[in-house]
């Protein structure tokens, strides 16, 4: 049986036995912020078991996506070494909500495994909770000898959701792979040892929800015991397919082939890298399904877990020899192997690719620098015979290389080392102090004085980066915290001044360049470039490796793709400026701008909001210039000449005598020192993303160009396609369909409202007809969940109007309390069944407080769990009330 067939056989089997097939819920639990991920099949049914939610069925069967990477269930570190633990896996389950119990659950499990799945009965061992005779005899009833059944303690065979709530004993099915598979080597090897021995594989856990555990530990029997079972698809597949590990099933083999292709491995190489393949396959599935369910990498919460999984996968890929990005290929492979069972994956595939691709790119850079350094640290620790990496080192790794501490911990553990957690935390706190001090220091007089002093000694930098992204130069000065230093070593924060530089220093709204400065044996990672005083360009960064010294020659290299993005945005800004004046009027002049790699922001003078039509025209006008591929030229000229030829000057900018003029063909002419593309065609596409107000008379447009615009457009397209898919209409019909749906929803709401009023009333005639009699008094009990006192009274009145003689108990339970109304007809009162008397009995049985008159009594409070049993036993209540009356008479 292939995995696809196993899923289907499982669901179909339970369907045949009266279960409703329910689709898998999301990995992100709905409305449950306390739980990071869905980690078992019962999670979506939690409220049903708790009695908080009702479903139209009492038996359900699912194949549920699960993640076990946090909290009590964290199998992350098992992945790889363990042939049977995954982070992401599929759990097959069947559920009974107050319907069948142990006997049937056990029979189903036995019939399915030994019948449908054809597993030889003598290969299966069952465990029960010691003392659970009901489970024991249920197995015995199937012909299993009692002495073969393993009795276990609560540690393994009692299940609880948390510290309180539904819980109960469990019974598990273990598969016996035979003595040859034993890895523990103990003469008494067996399930009872629970020692993770390879011979025994837990495949199915049957949970019997039997008690409600109160705070303090007392267990009250549930009025409606239920069943929750879970069987790992990957494990049962390995058993059915007769293979030694989950990874040898058809769920993973195709993935392994893809991975082998991605890594370019021979079969022999692949065989050597089992753990890496397992981790890649497992984590590949996890990241694909998580992203598909809307989780994106982040620094906290679910996104953080995803980020760790992605990073862990990359690390194993690199260790297995990967040099190029592997994750997009990996997630594609997961999509293609799993899309049959999870069609959503195909819809989200482009999004998944993009998310993991970007994360991989970002992490690749971090890794290269950090792993080498970490290896050194580990080797050093080994040499010195210590088993703990110092907090300072771990922090430096994090601070300098952006290398996440979790990863350091992970790698260290693989080498049998720990990290000094307390030391790390302390060092981070110290660094925060330092950076707070440094921040205030930055604009400090001391530093400015240092720059001015440099200028005075004749130090100056020539900017050569209009056309070039790389240049050779010489290190003229190094500064640390405002002090000139002769050299800087790995880890040092440093400012580098060179005689020539292709790095653009932040000016005119355009952000500073980033990149790298290399000397003979040093590398400085540049994070920002500034011009603190005219003529001096300061590169700010950290020495990533080796050492840099004043006087050395240096190769300076700008992060070119980033700079190209900036150039596109800058030229686009000029086009937008011109278009604004064309469309809104001459007043719409620039008031400020930000030109970053990923977006542009343009503030301009205008009194009222830009209308959607104007916005569309602006966008179209700019794109016209883009499509026209207009040449962009720059020239240096006298300020006076420039203004005379109509170049736009910015009102708040100081200009020297000679200025730089950027001309876009005939269309635009501005004084500007920034960097631009050669032709407008390079902009590719221009999209306005927002328009807003910033203070009086100034509006702000935010826009994208180039890669950013394309990604944005693609995202929107994806969204629309997905929407159309959900609506099952062509994209062009989406608006009309949504309009219809909104109308329909309104109509339905009205209908539901009407129906609710009607349905709040159960079928009273039927209830009255079936009502029992006590001494000739008809006794009607109605449970109307959620109803308040007024609704219960109204309900009682309606029953009373149909009832010649009798008593009515209408009750509800909600928000942890009972509401109850008791009514008695005149005839019933005459026979001694006064409402007040019945209320008194109810108070005793339900724990409610209440009272009233002979015809009408009301009460509330009590224990909701008692309501259903007491309502089912109303004749006894009435009899007790009558007896009390009789006693009173006597």
Q: Which residues bind ligand ATP (CB under 6 A)?
A: 68, 75, 85-86, 89, 91, 202-205, 230-232, 234-235
The 8-class DSSP code of residue 113 comes to I
CB 703 within 8 A of CB 602: yes
Q: How far apart are CA 729 and CA 733, in angstroms?
A: 6
| Placement of tokens 């469990």 in the chain | 170
What distance, in Å, lies between the first and last C-alpha atoms of the chain? 76
User: Which 3 state secondary structure label does DSSP give 771?
Assistant: coil
| Nearest-angstrom CA–CA distance, 174 and 124 | 6
CA 562 to CA 585: how far, in whole Å?
33
- Structure letter (DSSP) for residue 82: B
User: How far apart are CB 174 and ligand ATP at their closest, in Å?
Assistant: 9
The Cα-based distances of 283 to 255, 336, 763 in angstroms read 11, 16, 54
For residue 310, give the nearest of 294, 290, 333, 335 by alpha carbon: 290
Nearest approach in angstroms of CB 82 to ligand ATP is 8
90 versus 332: smaller Cβ distance to ligand ATP? 90
In which element (H, E) is residue 725 found?
helix 706-727
Q: Under DSSP, is residue 38 helix (H, G, I), strand (E, B) or coil?
A: coil
Least distance to ligand ATP from the beta carbon of 204, Å?
A: 6
Q: Could you tell me the smallest distance in angstroms from the CB atom of residue 81 to ligand ATP? A: 12
Q: How far is the CB of 171 from ligand ATP (least distance, A)?
A: 11
Q: Shortest distance, CB of residue 278 to ligand ATP, whole angstroms? A: 12
Q: Give the Cα separation of 480 and 524 in Å (integer).
A: 13
To ligand ATP, the closest distance from the beta carbon of 418 in angstroms equals: 24
CA distance 713 to 705: 11
Please state the closest distance from residue 359 (CB atom) to ligand ATP, in A: 24
The strand ranges marked E within 565-643 are 590-595, 600-605, 632-638
Residue 530 CB contacts under 8 Å (≥ 6 apart), including other chains: 505, 506, 512, 537, 538, 540
Taking the CA atoms of the chain, what radius of gyration do you get in angstroms?
37
Q: Is 587 helix (H, G, I), strand (E, B) or coil?
A: coil
Please give the residue whose beta carbon sits closest to ligand ATP in the complex. Answer: 232
Question: Looking at the chain, how many residues does it have?
Answer: 890
Which helix H or strand E contains 492, and what residues bound it? none
Q: Which helix (H) or strand (E) holds 803?
A: none
The CA distance from 458 to 463, in Å, is 16
Q: Which is nearer to ligand ATP, 92 or 857 (CB)?
A: 92
Give me the least distance between CB of 94 and ligand ATP, in Å please.
12
Contact assessment for residue 540 and residue 527, using Cβ atoms and an 8 Å cutoff: yes
Min CB(234)–ligand ATP separation in Å: 5
DSSP 72: T
The residue among 169 and 370 lying less far from ligand ATP, judged by its C-beta, is 169
| Distance separating alpha carbons of residues 394 and 466, to the nearest angstrom | 40
CB of 235 to ligand ATP, least distance (A): 4
- How far is the C-alpha of 502 from the C-alpha of 555, rounded, in Å? 10
Question: Which residue lies nearer to ligand ATP by CB, 236 or 808?
Answer: 236
Give whichever of 202 and 495 is closer to ligand ATP, judged by the CB atom.
Answer: 202
Q: How far is the CB of 159 from ligand ATP (least distance, A)?
A: 8
Minimal CA–CA distance to 397: which of 387, 409, 385, 380? 409
Of 196 and 585, which CB lies nearer to ligand ATP in the complex structure? Answer: 196
* Spatial separation of the C-alpha atoms in residues 873 and 57, rounded to whole Å: 25
E-strand ranges in 487-589 read 487-489, 493-498, 500-501, 515-518, 522-530, 538-549, 553-558
Least gap, CB of 86 to ligand ATP (angstroms): 4
Tokens 């989406």, located at residue? 734
Closer by beta carbon to ligand ATP, 41 or else 706: 41
Q: Measured from the CB of residue 868, what is the shortest distance to ligand ATP in angstroms? A: 30
- For ligand ATP, give the closer residue by CB, 205 or 331: 205
Q: How far is the CB of 71 from ligand ATP (least distance, A)?
A: 12
- Can you tell me which residue has the tokens 């990533």? 544
| Residue 240 C-beta: closest distance to ligand ATP, Å | 13
- In the bound state with ligand ATP, the residue whose beta carbon lies nearer, of 210 and 705, is 210
| Nearest CB to ligand ATP, comparing residues 91 and 566 | 91
- In the complex with ligand ATP, the residue whose CB is nearer, 313 or 820, is 313
- For residue 210, the minimal CB distance to ligand ATP (Å) is 16
Phi and psi, residue 686, nearest 5°: -125, 130
Spatial separation of the C-alpha atoms in residues 768 and 553, rounded to whole Å: 99
- 292 neighbors 332 (Cβ within 8 angstroms): no
Burial 484-502 (b: 16+ CB within 10 A, else e): eeebbebbbbbbbbbbbbb
Nearest to 19 by CA among 229, 179, 271, 321: 229
Please tell me the chain's helix, strand, coil percentages from 3-state DSSP, rounded to the nearest 5.
45, 25, 30
Q: How many secondary structure helices (H) and strands (E) does the chain include? A: 27, 36
* E strands present in 80-182: 88-96, 124-129, 150-152, 158-160, 165-176
Would you say the C-alpha torsion 171, 177, 179, 185 has a positive or negative sign?
Answer: negative
Task: Judge whether 355 and 291 are in contact, CB under 8 Å.
Answer: yes
Least Å distance, CB 29 to ligand ATP, is 16
For ligand ATP, the closer CB: 202 or 447: 202
């Amino acid at each position: 049986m292939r995995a696809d067939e196993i899923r289907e056989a499982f669901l179909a089997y339970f369907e045949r036995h009266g279960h409703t097939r329910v689709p898998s819920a999301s990995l992100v639990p709905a409305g449950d912020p306390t739980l990071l991920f869905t980690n078992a099949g019962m999670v979506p049914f939690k409220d049903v078991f708790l009695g908080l939610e009702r479903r139209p069925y009492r038996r359900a069967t699912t194949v549920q996506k699960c993640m076990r990477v946090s909290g009590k269930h964290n199998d992350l570190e098992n992945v790889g070494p363990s042939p049977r633990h995954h982070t992401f896996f599929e759990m097959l389950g069947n559920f009974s909500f107050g319907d069948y119990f142990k006997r049937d659950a056990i029979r189903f499990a036995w019939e399915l495994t030994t019948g449908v799945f054809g597993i030889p009965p003598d290969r299966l061992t069952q465990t029960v909770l010691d003392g659970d005779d009901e489970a024991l005899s249920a197995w015995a009833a199937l012909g299993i000898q009692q002495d073969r059944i393993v009795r276990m303690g609560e540690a393994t065979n009692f299940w609880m959701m948390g510290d309180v709530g539904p819980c109960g004993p469990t019974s598990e099915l273990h598969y016996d792979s035979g003595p040859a598979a034993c890895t523990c080597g103990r003469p008494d090897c067996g399930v009872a040892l629970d020692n993770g021995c390879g011979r025994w594989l837990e495949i199915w856990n049957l949970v019997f929800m039997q008690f409600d555990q109160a705070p303090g530990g007392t267990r009250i029997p549930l009025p409606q015991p239920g069943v929750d079972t879970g069987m790992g698809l990957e494990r049962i597949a390995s058993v059915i397919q007769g293979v030694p590990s989950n990874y040898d099933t058809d769920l993973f083999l195709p993935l392994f082939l893809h991975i082998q292709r991605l890594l370019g491995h021979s079969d022999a190489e692949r065989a050597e890298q089992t753990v890496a393949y397992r981790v890649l396959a497992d984590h590949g599935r996890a990241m694909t399904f998580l992203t598909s369910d809307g989780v994106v990498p982040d620094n906290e919460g679910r996104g953080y877990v995803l980020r760790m999984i992605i990073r862990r996968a990359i690390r194993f890929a690199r260790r297995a020899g990967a040099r190029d990005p592997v994750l997009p290929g990996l997630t594609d492979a997961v999509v293609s192997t799993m899309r049959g069972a999870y069609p959503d994956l195909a819809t989200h595939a482009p999004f998944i690719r993009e998310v993991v691709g970007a994360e991989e790119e970002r992490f690749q850079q971090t890794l290269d620098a950090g792993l080498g350094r970490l290896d050194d640290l580990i080797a050093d620790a080994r040499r010195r015979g210590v088993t703990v990496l110092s907090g300072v080192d771990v922090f430096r790794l994090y601070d300098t290389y952006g290398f996440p501490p979790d990863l350091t911990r992970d790698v260290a553990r693989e080498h049998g080392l720990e990290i000094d957690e307390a030391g790390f935390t302390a060092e981070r706190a110290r660094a925060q102090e330092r950076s707070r001090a440094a921040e205030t220091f930055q604009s400090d007089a001391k530093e400015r004085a240092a720059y001015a002093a440099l200028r005075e000694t004749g130090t100056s930098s020539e900017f050569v980066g209009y056309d070039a992204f790389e240049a050779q130069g010489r290190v003229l000065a190094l500064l640390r915290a405002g002090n000139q230093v002769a050299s800087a070593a790995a880890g040092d924060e440093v400012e580098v001044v060179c005689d020539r530089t292709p790095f653009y220093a932040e000016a005119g709204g355009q952000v500073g360049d980033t990149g790298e400065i290399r000397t003979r044996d040093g590398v400085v990672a540049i994070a920002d470039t500034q011009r603190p005083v005219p003529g001096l360009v300061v590169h700010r960064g950290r020495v990533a490796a080796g050492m840099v010294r004043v006087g050395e020659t240096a190769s300076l290299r700008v992060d070119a793709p980033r700079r190209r993005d900036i150039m596109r945005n800058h030229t686009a800004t000029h086009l937008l400026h011109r278009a604004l004046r064309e469309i809104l009027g001459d007043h719409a002049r620039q008031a400020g701008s930000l030109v970053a790699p990923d977006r542009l922001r343009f503030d301009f003078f205008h009194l009222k909001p830009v209308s959607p039509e104007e916005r569309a025209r602006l966008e179209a006008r700019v794109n016209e210039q883009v499509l026209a591929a207009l040449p962009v030229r720059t020239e240096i000229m006298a300020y006076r000449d420039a203004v005379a030829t109509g170049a736009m000057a910015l009102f708040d900018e100081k200009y020297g005598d000679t200025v730089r003029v950027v001309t876009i063909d005939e269309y635009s002419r501005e004084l500007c020192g920034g960097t631009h593309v050669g032709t407008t065609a390079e902009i590719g596409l221009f999209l306005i993303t927002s328009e807003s107000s910033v203070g009086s008379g100034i509006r702000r447009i935010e826009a994208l160009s180039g890669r950013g615009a394309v990604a944005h457009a693609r995202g929107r397209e994806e969204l629309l396609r997905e929407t159309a898919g959900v609506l099952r209409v062509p994209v062009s019909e989406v608006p009309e369909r949504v309009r219809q749906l909104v109308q329909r929803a309104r109509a339905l709401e009205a209908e539901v409202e009407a129906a609710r009023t009607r349905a709040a009333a159960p079928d009273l005639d039927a209830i009255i007809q079936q009502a029992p009699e006590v001494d000739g008094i008809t006794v009607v009990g109605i449970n109307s969940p959620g109803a308040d006192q007024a609704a219960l009274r109204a309900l009682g009145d309606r029953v009373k109007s149909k009832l010649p003689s009798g008593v009515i108990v209408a009750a509800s339970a909600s928000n942890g309390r009972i509401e109850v109304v008791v009514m008695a007809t005149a005839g019933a009162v005459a026979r001694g069944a006064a409402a007040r008397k019945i209320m008194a009995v109810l108070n005793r049985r339900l724990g409610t407080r209440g009272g009233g008159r002979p015809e009408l009594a009301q009460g509330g409070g009590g224990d909701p769990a008692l309501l259903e049993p007491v309502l089912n036993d109303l004749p006894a209540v009435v009899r007790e009330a009558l007896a009390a009356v009789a006693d009173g008479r006597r």
